Amino acid sequence: MSLRVRHPSQAGSFYAGSEPALRSQIEQCFKHRFGPGVVPKVSEDGPRRIIGLVCPHAGYMYSGPVAANSYHRLAADGRVDVFVIMGPNHYGLGSGLATVERGIWRTPLGDVQVDSELAEEIVRESGIIDIDEAAHTYEHSIEVQLPFLQYLYGSSFKFVPICFLMQDLESSREVGRALAKALADRNAVIIASTDLTHYEPQNAAERKDRMVIEAMLKMDENLLYSVLESHRVSACGYGPVAALIVAAKGLKAERAELLSYKTSGDVTGDRSSVVGYASVMFRR
């Protein structure tokens, strides 16, 4: 049976549209002054301590170097069999919490296969995630993570996408608990895709984002939602982050570490209205 192909919706927009240009763009993200400074190679005997990563999802020219810090650490940690990539639903299509059951996602770097067995197990364990391809039709928050993973691992991994239109705390907790159960015996990494404060002056964005990041580092989903609500933080992927925090604790994470924080203003020089980007690592 042939697998249905999801063609890229953001190639040529959020990231370069051809294979040579995209490889070059990713390498530039790694070498950028806000990136790790070097292009990584995957460690074949890495310790495999990373449970999850928070990564931004703006266009690569804005947030790519920040995301590259997460992927640099991932490469040093060794090979991974499967990724669960969670992102917010920016377009309002489909179910409140949606994954896909099977298929291939295509980017200019090739094809990545959905792990059908894991997707079905996560749906079964959660009880609230639907199988719904419509939610993923145009969504960029998950798609933009794939080229970085393909650059590192080629086609040697599978993944499961989960799109969050519904981002309340209890739903995110249920997803996190389901992931902890489904991934307990797998060589897996969870990626929560989010940008932080949107379109505020640099000083205001940094102040708010520091509090959000502190909640991540404390691995405290209650504090995360308290900060978001009391300070009106316009982070877009807080549900995926909360689910990652819950899953990481269930998978015995010992600590979280901030790898990088910058804003679009740091990149462009226009600090009057910025978007915040962070890379955070959760590890055993």
Write out the H or E segment, with its range, that includes residue 163.
strand 158-164
- Region 156-182 average pLDDT: 98
Is residue 34 very low, low, confident or very high in pLDDT (cuts 50, 70, 90)?
very high
Average pLDDT taken over every residue of the chain: 97
Contact predicate 282/249, CB 8 Å: no
Q: Is the dihedral of CA 101, 106, 111, 112 positive or negative?
A: negative
Q: Is the dihedral of CA 65, 71, 77, 78 positive or negative?
A: negative
pLDDT 10s digits, 36-91: 999 999 999 999 999 999 999 999 999 999 999 999 999 999 999 999 999 999 99
Nearest partner of 150 among 115, 193, 106, 109, judged by Cα = 109
- Predicted local confidence at residue 128, as pLDDT: 97
- Predicted local confidence at residue 3, as pLDDT: 84
All structural domains of the chain, each given as residue ranges with its CATH number in brackets, are 5-283 (3.40.830.10)
Side chain identity, residue 171 = S
pLDDT at 100 over 90: yes
The total of other beta-carbon atoms located within 10 Å of residue 190's CB is 26
- Region 8-30 average pLDDT: 98
Map tokens 């980007």 to a residue.
Answer: 277
- Predicted local confidence at residue 55, as pLDDT: 98
Strands 50-55 and 188-193: parallel
pLDDT at 269 over 70: yes
- Predicted local confidence at residue 189, as pLDDT: 98
- Predicted local confidence at residue 2, as pLDDT: 74
Determine phi and psi for 85, rounding to 5 degrees: -110, 120
The whole model's pTM is what? 0.97
pLDDT at 1 over 70: no
β-bridge mates for residue 277, sequence order: 262
DSSP 219: T
